[in-house]
Amino acid sequence: MSSLQPFRLAIQSNTINIFSTTLRYTSEQPSIKTIKIDKNDLKKEYLKAKLYKDGCTEVIRPIVGEKQEHPKVEFCTWDCLNYALKLKEKGLNPLVLNMANDEHPGGGYLVGAGAQEENLFRRTNLFQYHESNSHWYPFQNAGGIYSPNALVIRASEQENYKLLSVPTKMSFVSVAALKFPELVEEEEEKEEEKEEEEEEEKEEEKEEEKEEKKEEEKEEKKEEKKEEEKEEEKEEKKEEEKKEEDKEVEKKVGEEKEEQKNVNKKIEYKKYTLTPEAKELTRQKIRAIMNIGIDNGHDAIVLSAFGCGAFRNPPITMAELFYEIITKEFAGGKENLPKTYRHIGFSIFDDKSVMRRKDGQGNVEPFKRIFDNFVWK
């Protein structure tokens, strides 16, 4: 059991009680006051929840005649809800991706699990949208649930889930990533890694050339010395013996280098990706996420490392698939393109559940590499 589990369970129980029974709470952050909740308003909103059986084929994005600007693509390591609330303060209408469990509403929220969906259920009334529509489960492959205007009443786990003095409405799209997908070893290494290896090889070659040059100079000096000291047989013999010793040392060093190369090959981290079939299915899921937001009038979306925690999807592959869909299908810059977003944000952080490489790299680095300081080409 996680040390946080009892705390999470207590918070979840209190959240359910606030939305289902008391309909009021005393805020803790940033000021103390009593907040009342309108039960009819809650119900009116969660009855608007929509099921998309296939967010790829059900949604046809309208064509916009005039030129649309490219979406601003942004990377951050903030909590996803805090980030979305900041976007809302800027006048945007954000949608937050809930990385859902496709079989059970809220995954393990009733047992204090720590994934993103459970975190959202503790901080909002998103549980009402899903529990009241439990017959929609399990999701189909590219299916999802749209939940408009859920009420955010709590701060993040890092802020101890403090009750907010300004509850704010936020909409969510719930789509499930592939769970424990089959992984295959990549046939080709990343171009960047190839370049790094080539640079290392070049440096090694330069060092070897220097050593060879030194040896050549050394041999030349030896020959000169031999010519000068032909009559001194003893000295010549010493030089020959030294040469033999140098050869033995050089041979030994070469053998050790070769042995180390073999060791490095054995411990080299193998790079894994999704199978072609899993990649295509994940593309459909990403399209569904993006399409559902457009279909409901959102101009901003907050995305995360989709399935890269407990579901064990490789973050490098996921970041690349998001990049592919966004740049190919949600770009602006021209007239007569399908409607797109004004803002696409990635809220990425590492926790204990992330799929780490042997070098310690988790979710942040792959997404940061692609989306931080993003520039449209």
Q: What is the pLDDT of residue 359?
A: 47
Name the phi and psi angles at 170, rounded to 5. Answer: -145, 140
Q: What is the mean pLDDT of each run of 10 residues along the chain (377 residues)?
A: 90 98 95 95 97 94 97 97 98 99 95 96 98 95 97 97 97 98 75 58 74 77 73 71 63 50 38 93 98 98 95 94 98 97 96 57 91 93
Say how many C-beta atoms besides its own lie within 10 A of residue 121's C-beta: 27
Q: Whole-model pTM above 0.85?
A: no
CB atoms under 10 Å from CB of 129, counted, come to 27
Burial 333-371 (b: 16+ CB within 10 A, else e): eeeebeebbbbbbbbbbbeebbbebeeebbbbbbbbebb
What pLDDT score does 216 carry? 77
Instruction: List the chain domain ranges.
Output: 5-183+274-371, 231-271
pLDDT for residue 306: 97
137 burial type by CB count under 10 A (0-12 exposed, 13-18 middle, 19+ buried): middle
pLDDT at residue 208, rounded to an integer:
73
Q: Name the fold adopted by 5-183+274-371.
A: Leucine Aminopeptidase, subunit E; domain 1 (3.40.220)
Q: What is the pLDDT of residue 196?
A: 56
- Helical packing angle, 364-371 and 315-329, nearest 10°: 30
- The pLDDT score that the predictor gives to residue 209 is 77
DSSP secondary structure letter of residue 16: H
Q: What is the pLDDT of residue 263?
A: 35
**Bridge partner list, 52:** 144
Predicted pLDDT of residue 18: 98
